[in-house]
Structure 1
Amino acid sequence: MRGPVDVLLTLAARTTSHSSTLTPDQLSSSINSANLNATSAPFYPSPWMNGQGEWSAAYAKAKDFVSQLTLLEKVNLTTGVGWEGEQCVGQAGSIPRLGLRSMCMQDAPVGVRSTDYNSVFSSGQTVAATFDRGLFYARGHAMGAEHKAKGVTVQLGPVAGPLGRAPEGGRNWEGFSPDPYLTGVAIAETIKGTQDAGVIACAKHYIGNEQEHFRQVPEAIGYGYDIDEALSSNIDDVTMHELYLWPFADAVRAGLGSIMCSYNQVNNSYACQNSKLLNNLLKDELGFQGFVMSDWQAQHTGAASAVAGLDMSMPGDTLFNSGISYWGANLTLAVLNGTVPEYRLDDMALRIMSAYFKVGLTLDEPPINFDSWTLDTYGPLHASVGSNVQQVNWHVDVRGDHGALIRNIGARATVLLKNVNNTLPLSRPKFVAVIGEDAGPNLQGPNGCADRGCDDGTLGMAWGSGSANFPYLVTPDSALQAQALADGTRYESILDNYATPQIKALVSQTDATTIVFVNADSGEGFVNVDGNEGDRQNLTLWHSGDELVKNVSKLCSNTIVVIHSTGPTILTGWHDSPNITAILWAGVPGQESGNSITDILYGKVNPAARTPFTWGPTRESYGTDILYTPNNGRDAPQDNFSEGVFIDYRNFDRQNITPIYEFGYGLSYTTFSYSNLTITNAHAGHYTPTTGMTEQASTFGNHSTNLNDYLFPKNLTRIEQYIYPYLSSTDGRAASHDPSYGQPASKFLPDNAISDSPQPKLAASGAPGGNPQLWDVMYTVTATITNTGARNGEEVPQLYISLGGPNDPKHILRGFERLSIDTGKTATFTADLLRRDLSNWDPVKQDWAITSYPKTVYVGSSSRNLPLARTLE
């Protein structure tokens, strides 16, 4: 972490680019060979928003508001008040003169963090398995409603980074899927739901944040690693566009209000001061109209990060509780001395307030009614220093009827991987034996481990800042026992994986239907659970789960296995045992876990979920892994994404590796047939790259350059460690803690960094999400799906496209739909193929293009069961 001397002077980006199409030889090179020396091209100035499209009304309101602000008020709006400065995990300064209370940023991938009377939802990865757009939206809306009712302004989610490059990645469960199309649909629908509920969604972590190891230097040093800089994710231009940036484009098009830049470096430039990522790709090419906030302590510079595209500093201090900020007073000084142009500060404020007004927030929002630092009713308003003791928690119950939704998602997200001779669904079995710690409770309670940083009892939620407090947790043991009592079934459970004699005695008994619950956990890097520093150390089941399954299945000929996990595990060695009659993946299902799995096991819900990732036969079969050991001396570890776009099923197809269960696979209690593939040409016309120039940047009002006008007010009581926009001295050097204060921007900022002149428009730009023609419908694909079985059910037909080029995957997902079809009935699957879906990124033209290679459409029930195919005209 850099010190305050670098507040104004650190350069944001390197000076050359690394953006070229990968050749087959490059694709087969070593995944993590060190010292690629990737660099990130500078891109300046930072684009100013223009309120285009659906942003126009909010932009007009924001423009009116920002035009009334003083310089100090604008700075206050962009800078966090410091770690533990107020009630939320992050808060920006208020503008009481105009009625704007402090904006509250709160963690939220599965629920409102650090409070009570909130719900805990299924993880993003789990809901992705539903392949259900309606559930994506409903979950987003319900989470948004709970945050809104707690007084949250910005909900820190959903997640598309990590995408899930390596299956061991600790935070993959917070995201959706390693397939960019599925993640793109899921994040877009989640954002729409969240923002329709009246809070700003914050997509994170942008970008290349694919592992926990070495993401932050202080964290890595705490684990005993000797490095001076955070890991660099080295990603070429094509891979960036076709894989990692893809879902963020969906997010921007969905009207996303904010984005969180990540801790890691990308091509050896920190993500929160990487002008290529923020100015070029996000704000210019994708036309992002919202604001970029830093991850907590991911900001490393002051002026450099400002001109590189950062709009809000979180939590505001350079180091937690340091009382020193790269922005705050230093941003005030930077504008006064011309290091940061006034239009850049105005643009920051416009972006923040436009997002604020866009979701319906007003200047009369109710107060924040919870406190992140205590569940007590009374406590210090400023927890960092223990001052201003008052009521900080009102214990508002925001759950509504969301438990029913969570139960439904958990069931409809459960993937039936194996079901021999219709073992499932169960129907009043004579004797049920439930085995495994994962079926039972944490003996310290569902919230007994801080940030859920343990793996005790059933896995209803993984660990880290993406966690929340359970209001309750229905365990599989309690729900299955209740079902057994209602059925008159004999029921016994053993909730200790190592109670071998007792387990053997129970499951060996006649008529036993044995259900074994096992899990594999992971989480954020600041927590180490059993040697797993966020990322999983391996892909085996925890607590000797694989041995438990093997031992039980040797003794019981009707063994059902339920897996709760944050990603795939290696099933080789037992999945094909004839005594294992059924296997289910139930993900990380949230508070209704036991009820959800019971609904599936007993057929109250007919499974139709699809695995959102591939289950490989070995760890090596994935072709990617975590970088566990620094490989560049004390310099930034180099994580080279040399596999390009070939992750998950794309790699299995390319390497001709047979997975145990392929991406998109899932069984039902009924059967379906596919027929009548039709493709209709929409005659969308030719693609026209965007041309022309932007308008000149505008500023709002003049400000005094007299430093006396910005001194800390004499009538205001200073709170220790709190971040203010005021100066402590009229001596700029003393106020900034920067011995080089006063150097002109030209001495240390890249060319064009502070220009306000009109800029050329990028060919791939033009609207939120990119060139609007990328979203033109090129073809409409339909197919007939028939329920040929004896039960009503749901089916998820999937559309894949082969782009045909030598460096393209065999086929990639480009459409899906979850259909409800009664027995003997048919339904029509419909999917539109957009221009974007058929295009490749051209790194020379810096635009999307449809190649001349033949394109083939496939429709089927998984990535490897595609009975319908047709070549596009």
Structure 2
Amino acid sequence: MQLKSATQWLLPVFVLAARASVANNHQQLYKRALEVSEPSYPSPWMNPDADGWGEAYARARDFVSQMTLMEKVNLTTGVGWAAEQCVGQSGSIPRLGLRSLCMHDSPLGIRGTDFNSAFPSGQTAAATFDRGLIYRRGYAMGQEAKGKGVNVLLGPVAGPLGRMPAGGRNWEGFSPDPVLTGVGMAESIKGIQDAGVIACAKHFIGNEQEHFRQVGEAKGYGFDIAETLSSNIDDKTMHELYLWPFADAVRAGVGSVMCSYQQVNNSYGCQNSKLMNDLLKNELGFQGFVMSDWQAQHTGAASAVAGLDMTMPGDTEFNTGLSYWGTNLTLAVLNGTVPAYRVDDMAMRIMAAFFKVSKSIELDPINFSFWTLDTYGPIHWAAKEGYQQINYHVDVVADHGNLIREIAAKGTVLLKNTGSLPLNKPKFVAVIGDDAGGNPNGPNACGDRGCDTGTLAMGWGSGTSNFPYLITPDAALQAKAVQDGSRYESILSNYATTQTKALVSQANVTAIVFVNADSGEGYINVDGNMGDRKNLTLWHDGDTLVKNVASWCPNTIVVIHSTGPVLLTEWYDNANITAILWAGLPGQESGNSITDVLYGKVNPAAKSPFTWGTTRQGYGADVLYEPNNGNGAPQQDFTEGVFIDYRYFDKANTSVIYEFGHGLSYTTFEYSNIKVEKSNAGEYKPTTGKTASAPTFGNFSTDTSDYLFPSDEFPYIYQYIYPYLNTTDAEKASADPQYGQTAEEFLPPHATDDAAQPLLRSSGKNEPGGNRQLYDVMYTITADIKNTGSIVGEEVPQLYVSLGGKDDPKVMLRDFDRMRIDPGQTAQFRGKLTRRDLSNWDTGVQDWVVGAGEKTAFVGSSSRKLDLSAVLP
């Protein structure tokens, strides 16, 4: 067998890329005085006493102690794009009985397979404001992933948080509010991991738009940039907004975190030591592993010491057969560039996350291939080798359709209702619009849902799954009309103006207009929307359709499927528009779920997870659509700080159409009797002390002959990433004329230290998520909620707080509950305020501090309907 040459193996990359990275950062600094990501070294090692991780750590230690250096490298390095069955796989450890680990999309289902479910989006789940439903969604997705042989499910999403309403992937996450997103993250993670699959919290961090996230993608769209976008975020904003939900994820025990494509303060996310070493592993005490987004790794040794633990999919670029790790990482440890304890810690973190959710290394086989739905084909897809059965078409949907229908219905927000809803055997129903029908070529006709044809039930990109079926609104509403004996007609076009006017102008018509606005991931361009939306208007001339129907029919109901807010300014207050509903991205049961709400089978209680502004400019922050730094890294300064979405509207004191947290019901509620109970939480004590020194697990040979490719044991697979060397001469293998340089000559100071390290005052000693006292309950707020209507309903009381500082938002969501209340009955809401809820991040002392300003608690039905308030003693 002929191996690649040393140059083809790319052995010196770990050295050269680190130097190139430093040079590039210096160039950026000279070009523009911007935020810089300060270094933080060494990379923290696992804490054997971390809460919730003790048993997993012990099992991982026993396993990793048996591993060779090459096995550790194999575990940390992906095998290459399309090298095996999943969207990403790590190398296997056959000697110890561990098969290749399967990393697979998506945050709403299993991508690219069959006989799986298509769940509602995270954003739609967030609109339920129901912790239990969000958990059940995560658990069901975890069950399906496990049933397919997936070991790491790539979700949930807190990045993007939703800084800009036009952000293409906002729908994959939950809400621009960090508390609501934090709840969504924590409950999803608990559900996924309780089902036996590792959750992967992504994209860490500041990944708020699709434009310029990758150089190659941007060049494909005609943009001449040499580096990806830099999200420039100050320390206070980072902690109080973007890091907040990731802290909740770590506290929930998440097993993995995915670092993002873009730069943060001009340092790439997957080699940014401030983000991975300091914020995530030091401050938050994260015990799992950090994996790169696909092709987000730009260096070898530099990313290793900066805190990256696994590289996906393994190759430097898709299907090159070259890797920053693999062979390079083996050599880097052998020549002392990367310390052995760092690779030990990588392996420990991966295996501890594995044992946290799995009782045995004996895993069910991966029973699908992402690359095809054919039953037979090459298991090594890129190399076209290993022809065998690769898809077993295992059905994992169980009864999840019922859950999907429930979530989608309970996540539908009733924005407006003047009395036309709920429907009760209407005489004549007319359904209008493209969005009510199906794609004539089938719901999965467009790869990764990369089109907007027919009803919108899912955005586009890697965050998707195939539909097992898709119930359209037209199909479900027609079935209901037939059952009721109603007359029913539908026109499934936005442009059949003459026919639509003739239909809806008739007597006794209830016209239901379906409209949408789509978005997705940047590698797909739909009608000029390069992931991010071009605007906030409805697609396919939907605004004109709504206004036309409303001018012809005095009882017009509008249903919106969208990936975020749209501008309703031109028509929302039209008297002929009697109801408006936002149905989000409901998944496979779309038609059934909206029918349940329209007809009152489900009494709506969902709340909008974002603000509906009157203009696009009213949101403040917006997508950067054009490079602003020559051909260097586009610079996106987060100058608004923590003021996004409702916080920005409140600060600017501008009107909105529907505020964050708004949502109506078919019954009514009355709020009264707010009370404050102060707890006996003790005084906050900053964490002190030091970690243990870096542990190592077993010795390794320094004889390079022990690391040659074992061609007598198995054949070389084309483009497959291996940990082996191709020559025993390390200097020749490196192909680097400056091979003799030591790590200290190009790696940052302390990057390879292994001594005990001081604990941060804001971190916990053994508590993931930060200092344990941050989560002490300081106050319990109670209020009475009475159902003053005639039917049973659910209400979502929301607890907000004002911190009283001149630079603080007017109010911030801190807690909520979804409560079922019978007509005429009163229920008590109990909300909690923790020390973190009442604190600001102090950039001077680098810790959370409760400020001196007067603090007030508010309870109400939305961010701008806060009927009750009480000053906190």
Query: Shorter-chain TM-score: which interval?
Result: over 0.9
State the match for 2:4 in structure 1. Answer: none
1:637 is aligned, of 634, 637, 657, to 634
Asked if the contact 1:9–1:304 (Cα under 8 Å) also holds between the matched residues in 2, the reply is no
Amino acid at match of 1:608: A
Give the CA deviation at 1:10.
3.3
Q: Does 1:38 align with 2:35?
A: yes
| Cα distance change of structure 1 residues 386 and 211 upon mapping to structure 2, 3 Å threshold | same
Q: Does 1:10 align with 2:41?
A: no
State the match for 1:54 in structure 2. Answer: 52
Question: Map of 1:335-350 to 2, 5 A cutoff?
Answer: 335-350=333-348
Asked if the contact 1:145–1:194 (Cα under 8 Å) also holds between the matched residues in 2, the reply is yes
Give the CA deviation at 1:230.
0.2
| Cα distance change of structure 1 residues 57 and 468 upon mapping to structure 2, 3 Å threshold | same
Asked if the contact 1:10–1:748 (Cα under 8 Å) also holds between the matched residues in 2, the reply is no
Aligned-partner Cα distance in 1 for 2:57–2:222: 48
Residue by residue over 1:720-769, the C-alpha shift from the partner in whole angstroms, topping out at 9 and shown as x without a partner, is 10000011112334434544334200110000000000111000001200
State the match for 2:499 in structure 1. Answer: 502
2:426 is aligned, of 419, 425, 429, to 429
State the match for 1:31 in structure 2. Answer: none
Aligned-partner Cα distance in 1 for 2:669–2:619: 30
Question: Map of 1:374-389 to 2, 5 A cutoff?
Answer: 374-389=372-387
Aligned-partner Cα distance in 2 for 1:679–1:38: 42
Amino acid at match of 1:671: T
Q: Does 1:196 align with 2:198?
A: no
Give the CA deviation at 1:313.
0.5
Asked if the contact 1:786–1:824 (Cα under 8 Å) also holds between the matched residues in 2, the reply is yes
State the match for 1:687 in structure 2. Answer: 684
Give the CA deviation at 1:38.
1.5
Give the CA deviation at 1:5.
5.2
Asked if the contact 1:17–1:40 (Cα under 8 Å) also holds between the matched residues in 2, the reply is no
| Cα distance change of structure 1 residues 443 and 735 upon mapping to structure 2, 3 Å threshold | farther
Asked if the contact 1:504–1:552 (Cα under 8 Å) also holds between the matched residues in 2, the reply is yes
Deviates more, 1:600-609 or 1:775-784: 775-784
2:92 is aligned, of 91, 94, 97, to 94
Aligned-partner Cα distance in 2 for 1:606–1:79: 50
Give the CA deviation at 1:9.
3.6
Aligned-partner Cα distance in 2 for 1:463–1:321: 24
Aligned-partner Cα distance in 1 for 2:35–2:287: 29
Deviates more, 1:47-56 or 1:305-314: 47-56
State the match for 1:869 in structure 2. Answer: 869
1:467 is aligned, of 455, 464, 471, to 464
| Cα distance change of structure 1 residues 674 and 216 upon mapping to structure 2, 3 Å threshold | same
Aligned-partner Cα distance in 2 for 1:451–1:361: 34
State the match for 2:485 in structure 1. Answer: 488
2:560 is aligned, of 553, 563, 566, to 563
| Cα distance change of structure 1 residues 4 and 168 upon mapping to structure 2, 3 Å threshold | farther
Question: Map of 1:171-320 to 2, 5 A cutoff?
Answer: 171-320=169-318
State the match for 1:651 in structure 2. Answer: 648
Question: Map of 1:830-869 to 2, 5 A cutoff?
Answer: 830-869=830-869
Asked if the contact 2:13–2:328 (Cα under 8 Å) also holds between the matched residues in 1, the reply is no
Give the CA deviation at 1:694.
0.8
Question: Map of 1:443-462 to 2, 5 A cutoff?
Answer: 443-462=440-459
Amino acid at match of 2:333: V
Aligned-partner Cα distance in 1 for 2:185–2:16: 36
Give the CA deviation at 1:486.
0.1
Residue by residue over 1:398-444, the C-alpha shift from the partner in whole angstroms, topping out at 9 and shown as x without a partner, is 00000000000000000000001x21000000000000000000011
Question: Map of 1:797-816 to 2, 5 A cutoff?
Answer: 797-816=797-816
Q: Does 1:731 align with 2:729?
A: yes
Asked if the contact 1:272–1:305 (Cα under 8 Å) also holds between the matched residues in 2, the reply is yes
State the match for 1:674 in structure 2. Answer: 671
Amino acid at match of 1:796: V
2:138 is aligned, of 137, 140, 146, to 140
User: What are the ranges of 5 or more consecutive residues in structure 1 without an aligned counterpart?
Assistant: 19-33
| Cα distance change of structure 1 residues 371 and 216 upon mapping to structure 2, 3 Å threshold | same
Residue by residue over 1:589-630, the C-alpha shift from the partner in whole angstroms, topping out at 9 and shown as x without a partner, is 000000000000000000000000000000000001000000
Asked if the contact 1:329–1:736 (Cα under 8 Å) also holds between the matched residues in 2, the reply is no
Amino acid at match of 2:63: F
- For 2:658, what is the secondary structure of its paired residue? coil
Question: Map of 1:528-539 to 2, 5 A cutoff?
Answer: 528-539=525-536
Asked if the contact 2:114–2:466 (Cα under 8 Å) also holds between the matched residues in 1, the reply is yes
State the match for 1:24 in structure 2. Answer: none
Amino acid at match of 2:463: G
| Cα distance change of structure 1 residues 215 and 53 upon mapping to structure 2, 3 Å threshold | same
Give the CA deviation at 1:588.
0.3
Aligned-partner Cα distance in 1 for 2:736–2:125: 48
1:438 is aligned, of 432, 435, 440, to 435
State the match for 1:542 in structure 2. Answer: 539
Q: Percent identity?
A: 69
Structure 1 vs Structure 2 CA RMSD: 1.5
2:79 is aligned, of 61, 78, 81, to 81
| Cα distance change of structure 1 residues 334 and 804 upon mapping to structure 2, 3 Å threshold | same
| Cα distance change of structure 1 residues 159 and 36 upon mapping to structure 2, 3 Å threshold | farther
State the match for 2:825 in structure 1. Answer: 825
Amino acid at match of 1:277: L
State the match for 1:704 in structure 2. Answer: 701
Give the CA deviation at 1:459.
0.3
- For 1:459, what is the secondary structure of its paired residue? coil
State the match for 1:27 in structure 2. Answer: none
- For 2:125, what is the secondary structure of its paired residue? helix
Aligned-partner Cα distance in 2 for 1:234–1:741: 35
State the match for 1:599 in structure 2. Answer: 596
Give the CA deviation at 1:683.
1.5
Aligned-partner Cα distance in 2 for 1:487–1:519: 28
- For 1:10, what is the secondary structure of its paired residue? helix
Aligned-partner Cα distance in 2 for 1:3–1:435: 58
| Cα distance change of structure 1 residues 178 and 478 upon mapping to structure 2, 3 Å threshold | same
Asked if the contact 2:163–2:621 (Cα under 8 Å) also holds between the matched residues in 1, the reply is yes
Aligned-partner Cα distance in 1 for 2:11–2:462: 27
Aligned-partner Cα distance in 2 for 1:470–1:153: 22
- For 2:317, what is the secondary structure of its paired residue? coil
Aligned-partner Cα distance in 1 for 2:311–2:411: 36
Give the CA deviation at 1:448.
0.3
| Cα distance change of structure 1 residues 58 and 604 upon mapping to structure 2, 3 Å threshold | same
Residue by residue over 1:64-99, the C-alpha shift from the partner in whole angstroms, topping out at 9 and shown as x without a partner, is 000000000000000000000100000000001111
Give the CA deviation at 1:6.
3.7
| Cα distance change of structure 1 residues 807 and 504 upon mapping to structure 2, 3 Å threshold | same
State the match for 1:334 in structure 2. Answer: 332
Give the CA deviation at 1:108.
1.4
Asked if the contact 2:12–2:328 (Cα under 8 Å) also holds between the matched residues in 1, the reply is no
Amino acid at match of 2:72: K
Residue by residue over 1:815-847, the C-alpha shift from the partner in whole angstroms, topping out at 9 and shown as x without a partner, is 100000010011110111110000000000000
Asked if the contact 1:15–1:40 (Cα under 8 Å) also holds between the matched residues in 2, the reply is no
State the match for 2:6 in structure 1. Answer: none
- For 1:791, what is the secondary structure of its paired residue? coil
| Cα distance change of structure 1 residues 737 and 459 upon mapping to structure 2, 3 Å threshold | farther
User: What are the ranges of 5 or more consecutive residues in structure 2 without an aligned counterpart?
Assistant: 1-8
Residue by residue over 1:442-472, the C-alpha shift from the partner in whole angstroms, topping out at 9 and shown as x without a partner, is 0110000011000000001110000110000
Aligned-partner Cα distance in 2 for 1:742–1:514: 77
Give the CA deviation at 1:701.
1.4
Question: Map of 1:354-393 to 2, 5 A cutoff?
Answer: 354-393=352-391
| Cα distance change of structure 1 residues 746 and 553 upon mapping to structure 2, 3 Å threshold | same
- For 2:612, what is the secondary structure of its paired residue? coil
Aligned-partner Cα distance in 2 for 1:397–1:702: 45
| Cα distance change of structure 1 residues 263 and 17 upon mapping to structure 2, 3 Å threshold | closer
TM-score by length of 1: 0.97
Q: Does 1:626 align with 2:626?
A: no
